[in-house]
Structure 1
Amino acid sequence: MLELLELIDVLFAFILVALLLLLGRLVKQKVPLFQKLYLPESIIAGFIALILGPGVVGAIARTVGGDETFLATGLFPEATRTVWSQSPGVFINIVFAALFIGETIPHPRDIWRKAAPQVAFGQSLAWGQYVVGLLLALLVLVPLFQVDPIAGALIEIAFEGGHGTAAGMGDTFRELGFEAGPDLALGLATVGIVSGVVSGIILADWGRRKGYVQTVSVEPTDPALYEERHVEDRDTRLARMRLMENLLIDPLSLNFGFVGAAIVIGWLILQVLRFIESVTWGAAGFELIRYVPLFPMALIGGLVVQLVMERLGLAPLIIRRLQERIAGVALDVVVVTALASINLTILGANLGVFLTLSLAGIIWNVWAFLYLGPRLLPTYWFERGIGDLGQSMGVTATGILLIRMVDPDNRTGAFESFAYKQLFFEPIVGGGLFTAAAPPLIRQFGPIPILILTTLLLAFWIGFGLLNYKRIALRSEQQAVEQENTLSR
């Protein structure tokens, strides 16, 4: 139990995380396969911790010498494993709180025109993952493997949400009685990120040979190099100097304080929603907000912090690069500790479920890219669509990596469309509000109503995308005719 731990135990638990990350970097440098797959060091470090824990090293030691033998519980003490098991659900709040702090938030109407096709395609990918997963749950997983129907939501939670969301949803799964959920989600997230990079590389090569890639490609490098660079203008830097003049605080500490404020705001929003639920529909036995974790509310808290700072003229105090570094460290902790805490016994007992969901998720995403991409994205469908393919199977960095592979100089505008899409995407799916609400909704209403709902949403976004495609194509034809008439005069 956490209350029996001393602070020094917590300190050494995170020192071990830091050492594992260094080891992960070393292993990646020495193993060419990991470099080709562009596996993040945190995932490698997490698997090293998993191997050295009770599930692998400990299991071997117990097999050889019994339960009381040396290393029977792995290389790490129980106090460390206790801290690690609770860390993902805590640090994921930092990741989401920092997501929009320091970002310029344009008016939704101004960016919708450019991002609408990308939004339609991205939303179609996400809702399709629910439809495929829930159909599998109803037709295969529940009758054949007797698994909890909440498993139908795991493809979206793990593939679209990634390791961070999968880890952050662990407490929700346990509260709902789906004990296998956390381990299955983390395993699926790992399959997603690896298959996303591998399938993206294969598709990029295929697209070049078929002539779908309309830009010159270069050899890809580490995904970290493709993070957006936030170049600040001179006025912003001068304004920050004036605001910081009498503040005896390190800029990193100050920006961490903004993250803390976002989490507090998110916590207050969640408490208000839970109170409203308790005195309204919750009093009749229907509970939904109770199972919603803090991290999607922390994302909203980050938006509130950003808007308030802009309104007060204090936005220059926010340094976006520091926000990214804070979120990056927190995400590394989430990934390492979550993977280290996987229960391999549970994962092995649900191997059929795991393999079925993995294969179905990969097939859906690749099919949607090849079939829906050309029909929903009117221009440069390959370059624009492959970013969403990468994100829908791993993380945002995977999507950016694949975009840079096929459009290294950003000649198609794919990166801007991909970035703008996030404003209409992240708050809802891919770790947003519906991602957090899906498991309790399935528990409360059953999988069939949620399947109907997600099917209708999938149909809506595909329909909207097709109509929007035709509208943009018609407008382009009219503009071409007008230009031709102008030249003929």
Structure 2
Amino acid sequence: MDYTPWTLLVDIGLIGLLLAVGTLLRAVVRPLQTLMIPASVLAGVLGLLLGPHVLDVLPFSDQLGTYSSVLIVVVFTCLAMTDDFDLRKIGRPIASFAGYGVLMYAVQVAVGMALVLLVLHPLLGTPEAFGALLFAGWAGGFGSAAAMGQVFGAAGQSEIQSLAFTSATAGLLVGVVGGIIQARIGAMRGHAKEFAGLRTIPRELRTGVLPHDQHRPAIGTHTFSGASVESLGFQTGLVAAIAAGAYGISQALALLWPGIAFPVFSLGFLLGLLVRGLFRSARATRFVDPESLRSVSGTATDLLVVCGIASIVPTLVSGYLLELAILFAVGLVVCLVLGLVVAPRSMEGAWFEKQLFTWGWATGAVSTGIALLRIVDPRMKSRTLEDFAIAYIPVLPVEIAAVTFVPALVLAGAAWGAVGIWGAIAVLAAGFLVVLARIRRAGDGGTGAEGSGVRDGV
């Protein structure tokens, strides 16, 4: 069947229906609330079960997986247009948080690639691209999974996209279950002083529905009069124009260098930074509303998750069950070592809250980290989110570079280069944390303000 605009409408309608059902399930089914599974994940699982690869009930087109590749360009474009990259805001406590984030991401890249190159590829013949699945699905989440799938798919390794979304789904579940267990243990050992049990989690966080009798935050602010243009239409149009421009640049570069695949999402990020700079130079930033762009980005991410999970091909995944089990087991050990050994010795101020938040982030999504943080810090006294907003600044280049260049290195036959580069970044981040810890101990007179937490761990 030919793909037409009406086909697109049907796909969007089915995705919207699934998202609505997933939202309803999260709002009324208590086990789903306990696990805090996002509505988009529920919708994606329903789409997978009812889609063409399993029961074949829903008439999706064969472009379902492509939508994820398009939506990730939108997400990275919005990121470039909204995030503040002022490194001058980083102080010592935030620096330790940032160093830990860089270490977490770089270790997942290096360990995942090394595991495949040293063990899985020689013993089981696993493709080298498999090594990118740990950081793409766990530290990177569904967005990075879509980006990685796009690059490897363009190079003829279409199975990597299904495997990447499988990795992201598994990471999300590991993050939620493991985080809840850590919250309980941490509370028993006195690290989470604000923890009062899962039943104290705010209702709106469990159900996902904001109460109508309380203040509901706005999703954006109008920057134009409706007599001229709808403000959300302008913001969306700006993002769409940048994303389309990035795709056009990628096509032009493909003509100049046919043997090289340029990730559209990376080009969208760079073009977004350029447009942001032009707006700033022209003193036109008042036309751009960051909150509206974040809403656009969040919507694109939700749709991306639905499309990504629904487009998983179970027959492709079933051929790698042993490899996936080994990869996930190693990833779990890495995250536990970082969280239980490194975090209490390196992070300053509310180390347990920051570690639990980072656990959720390291296994799939920042939203998971926020949900776990609300369990142990319901009144947000630790200021973890405020610190993360700044601490993420140094992590972002490591993440984007990994998503952009690791696939390129693997496809170029230089997979060991990825191990070396991100292994070196991990070593530098670890050294940075050691230096900060020594400075802190020297400032505390050698006692350490968080000595008991360091000794006990979780």
How far the C-alpha of 1:195 sits from its partner, in A, is: 0.9
Aligned equivalents of 1:11, 1:347: Cα separation in 2: 29
Matches of 2:102 and 2:275 in 1, distance apart? 27
Matched, 1:132 2:111: yes
Query: 1:76 maps to which residue?
Result: 58
The alignment's TM-score, normalised by the length of structure 1, stands at 0.81
Q: What's the TM-score once normalised by structure 2's chain length?
A: 0.86
**1:263 matched to 2:263:** no
Is 2:109–2:402's contact at 8 Å kept on the other side of the alignment?
no
Supply the RMSD in Å over aligned alpha carbons. 2.9
* Structure 1 gap ranges (5+): 58-73, 481-489
Matched, 1:369 2:344: no
The answer to whether the Cα contact below 8 Å between 1:97 and 1:262 also exists between their aligned partners in 2 is: yes
Deviation at 1:206, TM superposition (A): 0.8
Runs of 4+ with >4 A deviation:
223-226, 229-232, 264-275
Aligned residue runs from structure 1 range 79-478, under 5 A: 80-103=60-83, 105=84, 107-111=86-90, 113-217=92-196, 219-221=200-202, 222=205, 244-245=224-225, 248-263=228-243, 266-267=246-247, 278=257, 290-429=260-399, 432-475=400-443, 477=445
Unaligned runs of 5+ in 2: 449-458
Distance 2:61 2:431 in 1: 48
Asked if 1 retains the 8 angstrom alpha-carbon contact of 2:254 and 2:261, the reply is: no
Deviation at 1:127, TM superposition (A): 1.2
Aligned counterpart, 2:456: none
Asked which structure has the greater CA Rg, the reply is: 1
Paired residue type of 1:263: A
Q: Retained in 2: the 8 A contact 1:176–1:440?
A: no
Shift of 1:193: 0.7
Task: Measure, in 2, the Cα distance between the counterparts of 1:271 and 1:466.
Answer: 45
Q: Is the 8 A contact 1:262 1:304 kept in 2?
A: no
Does structure 2 retain, via aligned residues, the 8 Å contact 1:119–1:421? yes
Look up the match of 1:33. 31
Q: CA deviation at 1:82?
A: 1.6
Counterparts of 1:38-57 in structure 2 under 5 Å? 38-57=36-55
Q: Secondary structure at the match of 1:23?
A: helix
- Aligned-residue offset at 1:339: 1.3
What is the CA–CA distance in structure 1 between the aligned matches of 2:244 and 2:227, rounded to whole Å?
23
Aligned 8 A contact 2:72 2:265 in 1? yes
Given the alignment of the two structures, is residue 11 of structure 1 paired with residue 21 of structure 2, yes or no?
A: no
Give a deviation string over 1:419-450, Cα, whole Å, max 9, x none.
Answer: 11222212331xx1222210221232433332
Matched residues in 1 for 2:177 and 2:135: separation? 19
Contact 1:230 1:321 (8 Å CA) reproduced: no
Q: What does the per-residue CA deviation read over 1:111-142, in whole Å, with 9 as the maximum and x for residues that have no partner? A: 35452111110111111112221232123311
Classify the secondary structure of the residue corresponding to 1:98.
helix
Give the letter for the 1:440 counterpart.
A
| Residue number in structure 2 paired with 1:484 | none
**Rounded Cα–Cα distance in structure 1 between residues aligned with 2:217 and 2:296:** 18
Q: Once the 2 structures are TM-superposed, how far is the Cα of residue 329 of structure 1 from its aligned partner?
A: 1.9
Distance 2:195 2:282 in 1: 45
Task: Give CA-to-partner distance per residue, 1:392-441, whole Å, 9 cap, x none.
Answer: 10111112222222222232222112111222212331xx1222210221
Task: Give per-residue Cα distances to partners, 1:318-356, cap 9 Å, x unaligned.
Answer: 223321221122112211112111111010111111111
What SS does structure 2 have at the residue aligned with 1:460?
helix
